[in-house]
Structure 1
Amino acid sequence: MADSPQPGSASPEPTNAPPVGNDGLLEIDSDVGSDYQSDFASDTTSLNSMITSYRYENGRRYHAYKEGAYWGPNDEEQNEQLDIAHHIFTLLLDNQLVLAPIKKDIQRVLDVGTGTGIWAIDFADEYPSAEVIGTDLSPIQPSFVPPNLRFEIDDATESWVYSQEFDLVHVRSLYGAIADWPAFYREALKTLRSGGWIDQLEMSIQFRSDDGTVTDDHVLSIWSKTFIEAGDKFGKTFQIAERAKGYMQEAGFTNVTEQRFKLPIGSWSKDRKLKRLGIWNQVHCERSISGWAMALLTRVMGWKYAEVEVFLAKMRSGLRDPNVHAYFNVIGVYGQKPTA
């Protein structure tokens, strides 16, 4: 057993104190080879484990990194829904990937909240001159992607730090994901180079009808009201589709343009394109409502699992009702960073 320090003698240095030389400068370890590599590998493994140690709840899988920051699942069922939504948006926009008037030889692109990465992959293929970065909280993107694309784990609600500016910031379906949208748009403006564009596409969660078949007491209307309330309680609005234009203008973007598209649910529309979109959208909604609802209604609204399941059953019935001619708006907004 080591001798205890005698009264009046100096106490031993704490074991976690950094080694310093006589001049007060930190000493450098000349033998960093194997230990450094081992420590680095250990830290990297811990980080990867933190990102991929998913949370499982009510039969669904959720992200682990920044757990609870986003309400949607990241399992295969939800990822399939995201890809269906991409197909719907592609049809809706007549195969355009963005609404902003970008150049064909665009150089740097940031896709915020990339999800499965399907938009970023399509964009990288169509614009081979562009270096594309897709960011998300979940590492659910594929490994085999175009050479001009890479994915990163990142939280868009924190400060954006990039070594170079971007020509385009792309945002899609981030409703309910951002607490401070004005700050988000300020970060986007800061990250863009002069003359660069932000392009955002969002779905409104307000179900509507032009013939009055979606009444105030219809389950589709109740759904909309419930999620608007849940977003307010959660502190992350589900009404960004309707607010994006104003927020962009307040942040300092110019040439801000809004386009609204009606997206039917079901095959009731006479228009051939809208009929096709409606069929796809009914599949999209029916497969998505469980993922949309489960975490928000149980965690935020305090519902029991059985209550959510009953609500989902009523929603499926409402979505399939041929006498209800429901749709919701898809709203695209783009703006430009002022030129110097």
Structure 2
Amino acid sequence: MAGIQAQIDVDIDEVGSAYNDDSESDTTSLNSAILEHRFQNGRRYNAYKEGSYWGPNDDAQAEQLDIFHHICLLALDKKLFLAPIAKNPQRVLDVGTGTGIWAIDFADEFPSAEVIGTDLSPIQPSFVPPNLRFEVDDCTEPWVFRKESFDFVHVRSLYGCIADWPAFYEQAMLHMKPGGYIEQVEMSVVPKSDDGTVIEGSIFDQWGKISIDLGEAFGKSLRTVDESKDGIKAAGFVNVVEHRWKLPIGGWSKNDKLKHIGLFNRLHWEQGIEGWCLYLLTNYRNWSIEEVQVYLAKMRQALKDKKIHAYQEVSLVYGQKPFGSNTS
């Protein structure tokens, strides 16, 4: 389904109902700096390239990442990707693999493919399919892989991670085979509504504006959901296709599929909001931990308010490396 879908109808019966889901490269030398972590405000972060990523790498945030993986599977009708890649991909790269869950699922589905997942944090499981390996690597540095070797490069949730997207896409182009595909999935950090229930000045409205400003202060855009299509096109990829969805935050939709996604997405937000903002607010706005907790308490209250019909937009963009292009 290309393009953003129409307004999501609200399930009037749910507004006052009792639904309560109360889901209340440095790849060759794994030295101690790579394997260690750092702690701040009770959360754990990567020590390797410290400060280059705002998100925690602890169990709480890992659970948030896995919930989003499940949401993506629901939105894509159990598909791991939409790009029309070859039926038998030989070499696949998952950039910013996180917990490694997408890479594991892909390796299981395509046992003949060599799958590599890279991330700043070595938080992936050790028991994985034999055709999969994880490497600690910084994707903002020149890639160390063989040129023109990947059939498919998968990217998900790298918003706020990349300062120079043109350089990133250039590296992807250099390391993909002609005819190979890149696919990128990104989510918006700005809650919206079609019926005016996300009110100007409300905590959801504040969250969106503060988040965008924090990305600017950090030097890594949090607007990637709206920028990836143009970035992939500008890099020289062809046959670029964008799909966009509205993901409800809560179970307020009349549509059964969207209601189900919305319940998981509310859990996703409840699990994720502290990790999404804590590092940036305390380091780039100088908020105290107490101020952050008050802010989060208001967000959690809004997340449970059935009268607010908020959603976030998600984009999936894929593009193909032209045949005959010389990137060596």
- 1:151 equivalenced with 2:122 (yes/no): no
Give, in whole Å, the separation in 2 of the partners of 1:198 and 1:67: 28
Pairwise CA distance, 1:52? 2.2
1:55 aligns with one of 38, 43, 62: 38
Q: How does 1:46-195 map to 2 (within 5 A)?
A: 47-163=30-146, 165-195=149-179
CA offsets 1:204-232 (integer angstroms, 9 cap, x no match)? 11111110101121111100100100000
Pairwise CA distance, 1:48? 2.9
Pairwise CA distance, 1:233? 0.6
Q: Greater Rg, structure 1 or structure 2?
A: 1
Give, in whole Å, the separation in 2 of the partners of 1:312 and 1:221: 14
- 1:314 equivalenced with 2:285 (yes/no): no
The number of equivalent residue pairs is 296
Give, in whole Å, the separation in 1 of the partners of 2:152 and 2:238: 14
Counterpart amino acid of 1:87? Answer: H
Give, in whole Å, the separation in 2 of the partners of 1:64 and 1:272: 43
User: TM-score scaled to structure 2, two decimals?
Assistant: 0.89
- 1:255 equivalenced with 2:247 (yes/no): no
CA offsets 1:227-256 (integer angstroms, 9 cap, x no match)? 100000100000011000101111101011
Counterpart amino acid of 1:49? Answer: S
Counterpart amino acid of 2:125? Answer: P
The match for 2:280 is 296
Give, in whole Å, the separation in 2 of the partners of 1:241 and 1:266: 21
The match for 2:268 is 284
C-alpha root-mean-square deviation of aligned residues, in Å? Answer: 1.1
Pairwise CA distance, 1:294? 0.6
Give, in whole Å, the separation in 2 of the partners of 1:307 and 1:275: 33
Q: How does 1:191-340 map to 2 (within 5 A)?
A: 191-340=175-324
Counterpart amino acid of 2:140? Answer: T
Instruction: Work out whether residues 83 and 183 of structure 2, in 8 Å CA contact, stay in contact via their aligned partners in 1.
Output: yes
Give, in whole Å, the separation in 2 of the partners of 1:92 and 1:296: 29
Give, in whole Å, the separation in 1 of the partners of 2:190 and 2:323: 36
Kindly report structure 1 stretches of 4+ aligned residues shifted beyond 3 Å: none
Give, in whole Å, the separation in 2 of the partners of 1:326 and 1:284: 14
Counterpart amino acid of 1:177? Answer: C
CA offsets 1:149-185 (integer angstroms, 9 cap, x no match)? 0000000000012125100000000000000011111
Q: What stretches of structure 1 of length at least 5 have no aligned partner?
A: 1-42
Q: Secondary structure at the match of 1:150?
A: strand
Report % sequence identity.
Answer: 60
